[in-house]
Structure 1
């Protein structure tokens, strides 16, 4: 394997690594978002329970304070995950650009190798033609 193929392969590995990291971050974001949805559902369920049992209303302010604290925690986690996701997306774009650069270099080198081989073949054919022409003129 040539050095240019190795660079393309390493760049592809980097893209896959960043892609996996982004998938993990997106999964964490979904967990945080789901936590907010569950919290909202719990608040609704508690409100329904309070409507059916007025005695439970005594504990409702404490429940809401706890929910508010959990919501703040979930929102801060979500904010961090969103920032991390943005960074991972930028890293993925950069990894793709790097991979494309290496692929372009490898393609250029492959084209140059083909052109060089064709040039050598043409030079050999020209040399053989000159030798045959020299033999033909020497024999005549």
Structure 2
């Protein structure tokens, strides 16, 4: 395997690693968003219960303040994960760029090798033609 192909494989591995990292970060963000939705659903269910049971209203303020704190923590977590996701996306884009650069360089080198081989073949054929032209021919022709 040539060094160009090795670089491309390493760059491909880097892309795969960063894709996995991004997928993990996205899954964590989605899980946090799901927890936020569940909390909102719990709050709605509690409010509906309090409407049917007036005695439960005594505990509503404590419950709501606890839910507010949990909501703030989840929103903060979502903001942090979103920033991390942005960084992971940027890193993935950089890895793709590096991989494409290596592929471009390898393609250019392959083209140059093919051109050099074609030039050598043409030179060999020209030399063969000159040799045959300079040979004395039998039969006087």
TM range (shorter): over 0.9
1:61-93, CA deviations, whole angstroms, 9 ceiling, x for partnerless residues?
A: 111011011111101110110000000010011
- With normalisation by structure 2, the TM-score equals 0.95
Whether 1:68 and 2:68 are equivalent positions in the alignment is yes
Structural mapping, 1:46-57, within 5 Å: 46-57=46-57
Corresponding residue of 1:29: 29
Structure 1's unaligned 5+ residue stretches are: none
Q: Secondary structure at the match of 1:102?
A: helix
Specify the SS of the correspondent of 1:112: helix
With over 3 angstroms needed to count, the CA separation of the structure-2 counterparts of 1:104 and 1:138, relative to structure 1, is farther
How many pairs align? Answer: 140
The residue that corresponds to 1:83 in the other structure is 83
- Distance of aligned partners of 1:139 and 1:110 in 2 relative to their CA distance in 1, 3 Å threshold: farther
Report which of the two has the higher share of helix: 1
Separation in 2, partners of 1:102, 1:5: 9
Q: Residues 139 and 131 from structure 1, CA distance in 2 versus in 1: closer, same or farther, beyond 3 angstroms?
A: farther
CA root-mean-square deviation:
1.4
Q: Which runs of 5+ in 2 are unaligned?
A: none
Give the match for residue 15 of structure 1. Answer: 15
Distance in 1 (CA, whole Å) between partners of 2:136 and 2:79 is: 85
> Partners of 1:124 and 1:105 in 2: how far apart?
28
Q: 1:121 to 1:86 in 2, by over 3 A?
A: same
Question: Which segments of structure 1 move beyond 2 Å, counting only runs of 4 or more?
Answer: 136-140
Q: CA deviation at 1:138?
A: 9.5
| TM-score (ref. length: structure 1) | 0.96
